[in-house]
Amino acid sequence: MPETPIEAIERKLLERIDILASISSDFDGITRIFLSKEMDTAAKLIKLWMNNAGLVANVDPLQNVIGSWPSENAKAPAIHLGSHYDTVINAGRFDGILGLLLSIAAIEVLQTEGYTPKHYINVLGFCDEEGVRYHTTFLGSSFLCGTFDLEALDKVDEQGISMREALKARGYDAEKIEATKPIILPGDLFIEAHIEQGPALEALDLPLAVVSGIAAQTRLEVKVTGKAGHAGTTPPKLRQDALTAAAEMILEVEKTLKSEESLRATVGHIKISPNASNAIPGQAVFSIDLRYPNYDGLQTTKASLMKALKAIANQREVGIVIDCVQETGSSECDPFIQETMCHSLSKFQEGAPTLLSGAGHDTLKIAQTCHTGMMFIRCRDGLSHHPDEYTSPQDIRAALKAWVEIIRSLDQELDS
């Protein structure tokens, strides 16, 4: 029996996930970072798929991919949907990508059904949500909201390449960034579908949930400066080992993590100098990722942790500089969007639970500009940012049906 048009769209969605998973700078997992050749390849494919779905697509000066549904009678406010297509190092195949490809597929389903939108509808593929290369998250979504920090263009990666230089190397003109008008405007709606990255939906035995809000988060860079020396000739009393001082500080971060159930604190990156087996490290630089359900709690935790780290530095007689690289307040999803999503999900599963997101998403940044909402999709063992990240085809099909219903419902009910 031949497949129906909807079944064909579902099949293409699953195939596209696998195709994008093959576009990677390494072979063990998936690595696709901002302004890399892999991102170029992915952007061209996403643009093609958007065009094939009936959208008018282009790639903007920062490598975001934008697909707009052409409709003569559409009106403001606009409804934006999508997610990011960059990855962390050694990532899985669903984080970000599933939400973006799901949105393209949903538009294709609606067009196949002959649906005519009342409002402008855009599918957005954000170029940099993870912040791997320049340690500045939400670059793509902030650019489309008109809140991009132009000073970021002068940030350098670990190879000493500035963002401005990287843009030029990939064929983009940094001068156009300042002149580009935002697409996401106050009064618009933005919705994002994303894997849960947690175990709650598995425990509930449900494929989908509505997100109530997103926790506040900050990223710190801690630079510890001691004194480099010869490993064989420098006695213990004369050592100022930056790495052992940093190690004690990292354990303090772990102690902070264990102090409260709702708190998250992680050290995920460290580098030392001179980084030689026979040399005492003279400098250690490490990251701290802090997250808390609300902004005030985050600030209290950050202040307490910084005080403790400085005390360790003082005791060990090493220098310490703590820079706040990124900070974002908590956000609540729009009540109208939450209600619409709950009603839509209830048509396809038993109930519609609401969950708070401990992970940051483009939605968190966009909530500073317009009304936002999110839908979570179950992932096996709650695993994410890992090659074994997995969401079943059955859950993806359920998500597509619900996503189509959510888009249609928001478009119809927005003015009522």
Torsion of CA 230, 231, 237, 243, to 10 degrees: 100
Kindly state the average pLDDT of the residues 272-283: 96
pLDDT of 325 reads 87
Q: Which residues contact 194 (CB under 8 A, 6 or more apart)?
A: 83, 95, 96, 98, 99, 361, 374, 375, 376, 377
Token digits of residue 56: 């008018």
Question: 356 pLDDT band (50/70/90 cuts)?
Answer: confident
Q: Residues 123, 88: one domain? A: yes
Q: Which amino acid is at 144?
A: L
pLDDT of residue 112 exceeding 90, the answer is: yes
Which of the listed residues 280, 310, 328 is the one where a domain comes to its end? 328
Q: Residues 46, 183: one domain? A: yes
Q: Residues 204, 296: one domain? A: no
Kindly state the average pLDDT of the residues 168-178: 88
Q: What is the CATH number of the domain that holds 100?
A: 3.40.630.10
pLDDT of 348 reads 93
pLDDT of 222 reads 98
Q: Residues 220, 209: one domain? A: no
Q: Residues 74, 124: one domain? A: yes
Q: What is the CATH number of the domain that holds 226?
A: 3.30.70.360
pLDDT of 3 reads 87
Q: Would the pTM of this model clear 0.85, i.e. be above it?
A: no
What pLDDT digit, counting tens, does each position of 71-103 carry?
888 999 999 999 999 999 999 999 999 999 999
Kindly state the average pLDDT of the residues 10-27: 95
Q: Residues 27, 97: one domain? A: yes
Contact 208, 405 (CB under 8 A): no
Which of the listed residues 328, 345, 370 is the one where a domain comes to its end? 328
Q: Which residues contact 416 (CB under 8 A, 6 or more apart)?
A: none
Q: Residues 297, 385: one domain? A: no
Element of type H or E holding 98: helix 97-112
pLDDT of 28 reads 79
Kindly state the average pLDDT of the residues 46-58: 97
Kindly state the average pLDDT of the residues 230-236: 94
Q: Residues 199, 321: one domain? A: no
The total number of structural domains in the chain stands at: 2
Kindly state the average pLDDT of the residues 217-225: 95
Residue indicated by tokens 């954000």: 126
Q: Supply the DSSP symbol for 380.
A: G
Kindly state the average pLDDT of the residues 339-347: 96
pLDDT of 107 reads 97
pLDDT of 77 reads 96
Q: Residues 287, 178: one domain? A: no
pLDDT of residue 360 exceeding 80, the answer is: no
Q: Residues 77, 135: one domain? A: yes
pLDDT of 45 reads 98
Q: Residues 9, 125: one domain? A: yes
What pLDDT digit, counting tens, does each position of 23-44 carry?
999 887 899 999 999 999 999 9
pLDDT of 371 reads 96
pLDDT of residue 416 exceeding 80, the answer is: no
How high does pLDDT run on average in the chain? Answer: 94
Contact 91, 30 (CB under 8 A): yes
Question: 173 pLDDT band (50/70/90 cuts)?
Answer: confident
Residue indicated by tokens 């980084």: 275
- The parent domain of residue 286 ranges over 216-328
Kindly state the average pLDDT of the residues 388-415: 96
Which of the listed residues 328, 343, 358 is the one where a domain comes to its end? 328
Question: 1 pLDDT band (50/70/90 cuts)?
Answer: confident
Contact 322, 221 (CB under 8 A): yes
Q: Residues 199, 220: one domain? A: no
pLDDT of 330 reads 86
Cis peptide before 186 (omega within 30 of 0): no
Spell out a b/e string for 267-298, using b for 16 or more CB atoms within 10 Å of the CB, else e. Answer: bebeebeeeeeebbbbbbbbbbbbbbbebebb
Kindly state the average pLDDT of the residues 231-257: 96
